[in-house]
A and B are shown apart, each in its own frame.
Chain A
């Protein structure tokens, strides 16, 4: 029985490998039942899209011997999903995709979990943030806009964002600290809503992810001012008549140094063995080789940093520290009850 299964799996892997990597070692661990892929966010959001994309790629190229089953556990800003993984000690058939709520949710709500309660697998990509304004406004550079915000007085300009005490609001506070401008932050449910609220001029600016605002940008309704990263985005294909992602300056270049990248990474249950982690790392490596994934990265102008092992956990540890500081300064930490 076991042997048969191994053979079958090998056949599948070899088939997939034709398009991707060399087949991996024989004795490697393989899942024996469907793999649950937890999404700590609702259906239709960025994390959900990415997870279902992975599910689709894995199915299409037969990258896993068992199907991947996607489950949304969005309750309490994702806390529900994280707690679920935390509690499934030693279960190698459960993985979770994370976003910044990995850090912000426990800090802001006081729900007891930490990334250390799970096993880090791999960083798939980093999501960029761009400062957007409505294209009908006169602001061409971040300086124009931030000067106007300062001149307008506190709370006269509205920054729209996704959720409360999460990445968008953290960035807003970071910008405020650095420049002295003062926004009114208005939280919405999803990134797509936020972009449209900006088109409809119900807010004055947003820090949407590229993928959330690209459609409105291309249609000429929104204008990107700067990207909140240390270097420009690498994608040079023209998105509008005269601009590519690469043409958007970094905020640092334009004189205010705020950087923020959002983790799109994978964790799994605590207490699993190294071979389990290795298996998933292998699967994700194959996923990243596919043209669909590359296309998806380009569409969303993602920062395609891939990390595993210690490098990854160090990155996460640093990011956690940075979030703790940012959120402490902003006064977003949960009151300890």
Chain B
């Protein structure tokens, strides 16, 4: 096995003390960056990129990719503890992670999140190690219609999640779409809904909205029940890690599904955030405990975290083999490769063996080191919930403000964050569901532009969406998921009839 040999050579590179130190520094920095909302993996890597300028490329990529792994791990922490998604892909983690923390199971939720992140990454790295060239060719088959199909599938896997008024769901989702449309329309280059106000040029950022809607909104809601956070009773020792691990094997099917979704979305490249939503939606639909999702189910933490980390990791594959970034962070790393004098693309695997296998080896080791670091900190993270409210609450608000500002360096974004906080509070009280709005905001303009790109290339014919087996299959899956409630009802009916007829 050529790959195994190359991989072992890679391990030898990574295990040099200098590289190991960089790895640990990278992970720790990454976790910090992941915890701070707004300062995402992409910014973090971009910010530190110039620092790596004088390092050997292999050491530089080890450190930067470890920042990325750290950020992937770290995003879950504030999502679970305070309902504030540290990173876009941890929004779906808040749905069940935060309720778990409120029930006093912060330790379990964190352990579940970290461990499943690790599992997702591991599956993706194995995939990269052995199937890179094959997978790269698969990614090439994705044009605009395929992208639109994937976005459609993400929506379908998520729609119908709420039990509330369908009209409120619709209003909320449409608000998300409308906000996604603000700013420059990439297909025609026209400004939409900016009303001549230059502050609106940048549009509404997804992260600002989620920090406000989930984070600030949650704090306001908590206030109604007194000036304290729930979940003080979280266990503060490492036993909780082992206890949680014992529960995890039961969810192997969820993990497997989530890893598959994640790898697929990372490679195509669909992105880690849609992957986490899709995985959560599908887990909810097919789980025995689907009804309990949203009330603090461990499975609802495992599904999005596994998918997000699998997607985040496998997003590096198209970057290395094709030179297309599968995620914003990958885009920055791609720039880094060029700065270090490496040419990403099909020849990288041949010309820069040491670099590529060093990177792949660091994916294995980096994730193991990362897992150990974050797991040993679980009691510490859970202990944050015990810091008195009057100290931690203002600090959280300050961190949210900093996070909102750093997304675009815009003061208006801090105001918007507070506004979104109030919206989140009112919507929650009136039973307007937030997830459809958030999903629409993150997918809206992507879906719109891939639809219009498809229309441009087919000259207005919708038949492009079933013009080849790939796109037709994805669309078919989407439709099945969309009508799943109906389908399962019919299936049950048929089953019952079969039972009745055999009984008589």
The reply to whether A and B meet directly (CB within 8 Å) is yes
SS class, residues of chain A in contact with chain B = mixed
Known: A202-B143, A296-B339. Is A188-B453 also a contact (CB below 8 A)? yes
Contact yes or no, A187 B347, CB < 8 A: no
Q: On chain A, which size bracket covers the interface?
A: 35 or more
Using Cβ atoms and an 8 Å threshold, which residues of chain B touch A44? 42, 325, 328, 331-332, 334-335
CB of A252 within 8 Å of the partner chain:
no
CB of A163 within 8 Å of the partner chain:
yes
How many angstroms between the C-alpha atoms of A155 and B338 in the bound complex? 35
Write the A52-75 contact mask toward B (1 if CB under 8 angstroms, else 0). Answer: 110111011000000000111111
How many angstroms between the C-alpha atoms of A71 and B322 in the bound complex? 28
Known: A163-B189, A164-B186, A199-B140. Is A219-B331 also a contact (CB below 8 A)? no
Using Cβ atoms and an 8 Å threshold, which residues of chain B touch A190? 325, 331
Among candidates B142, B194, B338, B453, residue contacting A76 with C-beta atoms closer than 8 Å = B194
Known: A52-B339, A155-B459, A163-B186. Is A43-B46 also a contact (CB below 8 A)? yes
How many angstroms between the C-alpha atoms of A189 and B141 in the bound complex? 18
CB of A246 within 8 Å of the partner chain:
no
CB of B49 within 8 Å of the partner chain:
yes
Q: In the complex, which residue of chain A has the Cβ closest to the Cβ of B142?
A: A200
Q: Distance in Å from the Cβ of A44 to the closest Cβ of chain B? A: 3
Q: Distance in Å from the Cβ of A283 to the closest Cβ of chain B? A: 15
Contact yes or no, B140 A75, CB < 8 A: no
* Residues of B315-347 contacting chain A, CB below 8 A: 318, 322-325, 328, 331-332, 334-335, 338-339, 341, 343-347
CB of A221 within 8 Å of the partner chain:
yes
CB of A262 within 8 Å of the partner chain:
no
How many angstroms between the C-alpha atoms of A43 and B140 in the bound complex? 23
Contact yes or no, B341 A184, CB < 8 A: no
CB of B409 within 8 Å of the partner chain:
yes
Using Cβ atoms and an 8 Å threshold, which residues of chain B touch A188? 453
CB of B408 within 8 Å of the partner chain:
yes
Contact yes or no, A109 B457, CB < 8 A: no
How many angstroms between the C-alpha atoms of A282 and B66 in the bound complex? 37
Among candidates B191, B322, B331, residue contacting A196 with C-beta atoms closer than 8 Å = B322
Contact yes or no, A43 B42, CB < 8 A: yes
Using Cβ atoms and an 8 Å threshold, which residues of chain B touch A181? none
* Residues of B378-430 contacting chain A, CB below 8 A: 408-409
Using Cβ atoms and an 8 Å threshold, which residues of chain A touch B343? 214-215, 218, 299
Contact yes or no, A111 B191, CB < 8 A: yes
Q: Which candidate, B67-75, B198-206, B250-258, B277-285, is the interface stretch facing chain A?
A: B198-206
CB of A143 within 8 Å of the partner chain:
no
CB of A10 within 8 Å of the partner chain:
no
Q: Distance in Å from the Cβ of B273 to the closest Cβ of chain A? A: 16
CB of A118 within 8 Å of the partner chain:
no
CB of A180 within 8 Å of the partner chain:
no
Among candidates A52, A199, A218, A296, residue contacting B50 with C-beta atoms closer than 8 Å = A52
Contact yes or no, B187 A195, CB < 8 A: no
CB of B130 within 8 Å of the partner chain:
no
CB of B188 within 8 Å of the partner chain:
yes
CB of A276 within 8 Å of the partner chain:
no
Among candidates A73, A187, A296, A337, residue contacting B187 with C-beta atoms closer than 8 Å = A187
Using Cβ atoms and an 8 Å threshold, which residues of chain B touch A285? none
Contact yes or no, A197 B184, CB < 8 A: no
Contact yes or no, B141 A43, CB < 8 A: no
Contact yes or no, B189 A77, CB < 8 A: yes
CB of B43 within 8 Å of the partner chain:
yes
Contact yes or no, A164 B188, CB < 8 A: yes
Q: In the complex, which residue of chain A has the Cβ closest to the Cβ of B446?
A: A189
Q: Distance in Å from the Cβ of B72 to the closest Cβ of chain A? A: 17
Write the B112-124 contact mask toward A (1 if CB under 8 angstroms, else 0). Answer: 0000000000000
How many angstroms between the C-alpha atoms of A72 and B339 in the bound complex? 18
Write the B199-218 contact mask toward A (1 if CB under 8 angstroms, else 0). Answer: 00111000000000000000
Among candidates B201, B203, B348, residue contacting A111 with C-beta atoms closer than 8 Å = B201
CB of A108 within 8 Å of the partner chain:
yes
Among candidates B43, B331, B346, residue contacting A216 with C-beta atoms closer than 8 Å = B346
CB of B190 within 8 Å of the partner chain:
yes
CB of B26 within 8 Å of the partner chain:
no
How many angstroms between the C-alpha atoms of A184 and B201 in the bound complex? 28
CB of B51 within 8 Å of the partner chain:
yes
Contact yes or no, B338 A211, CB < 8 A: yes
Contact yes or no, B198 A218, CB < 8 A: no
Contact yes or no, B186 A221, CB < 8 A: no
Known: A49-B338, A111-B201. Is A200-B143 also a contact (CB below 8 A)? yes
Q: Distance in Å from the Cβ of B35 to the closest Cβ of chain A? A: 20
How many angstroms between the C-alpha atoms of A74 and B184 in the bound complex? 10
CB of A323 within 8 Å of the partner chain:
no
CB of B183 within 8 Å of the partner chain:
yes
CB of B504 within 8 Å of the partner chain:
no
Using Cβ atoms and an 8 Å threshold, which residues of chain A touch B16? none
CB of B245 within 8 Å of the partner chain:
no
Among candidates A43, A196, A211, A300, residue contacting B332 with C-beta atoms closer than 8 Å = A43
Among candidates B50, B141, B202, B457, residue contacting A75 with C-beta atoms closer than 8 Å = B202
Using Cβ atoms and an 8 Å threshold, which residues of chain A touch B50? 52, 55-56, 59, 70
Using Cβ atoms and an 8 Å threshold, which residues of chain B touch A45? 331
Q: Distance in Å from the Cβ of A203 to the closest Cβ of chain B? A: 8
Q: In the complex, which residue of chain A has the Cβ closest to the Cβ of B141?
A: A200
How many angstroms between the C-alpha atoms of A122 and B469 in the bound complex? 52
* Residues of A69-123 contacting chain B, CB below 8 A: 70-77, 79-80, 83, 108-111
CB of A249 within 8 Å of the partner chain:
no
Q: Distance in Å from the Cβ of B54 to the closest Cβ of chain A? A: 5
Among candidates B184, B323, B334, residue contacting A195 with C-beta atoms closer than 8 Å = B323
CB of B144 within 8 Å of the partner chain:
yes
How many angstroms between the C-alpha atoms of A26 and B335 in the bound complex? 37
Q: In the complex, which residue of chain B has the Cβ closest to the Cβ of A166?
A: B189
Q: Distance in Å from the Cβ of A8 to the closest Cβ of chain B? A: 21
Among candidates A59, A108, A110, A199, residue contacting B51 with C-beta atoms closer than 8 Å = A59
Q: Distance in Å from the Cβ of A66 to the closest Cβ of chain B? A: 14
Contact yes or no, B49 A108, CB < 8 A: no
A interface residue numbers (CB < 8 A to B): 42-45, 48-49, 52-53, 55-57, 59-60, 70-77, 79-80, 83, 108-111, 155, 158, 163-166, 184-190, 192-193, 195-197, 199-200, 202-203, 211, 214-216, 218-219, 221, 292, 295-296, 299-300, 332, 337
Q: Using A185-B456, A214-B345, A218-B345 as known contacts, list a sample of 13 further A-B pairs with CB atoms less than 8 Å apart, ordered by residue number in A.
A: A42-B331, A44-B334, A55-B50, A56-B50, A73-B202, A73-B409, A75-B201, A77-B189, A111-B198, A187-B453, A192-B325, A196-B140, A202-B144
User: 21 A–B contact pairs at CB < 8 A?
Assistant: A43-B42, A43-B46, A44-B42, A49-B339, A59-B51, A73-B409, A76-B202, A77-B189, A109-B184, A109-B191, A111-B201, A158-B457, A189-B186, A192-B331, A196-B139, A196-B324, A197-B143, A202-B457, A215-B323, A218-B345, A337-B196
Shortest Cβ-Cβ A-B pairs, 6 listed: A215-B345, A44-B331, A75-B202, A76-B201, A202-B143, A219-B346
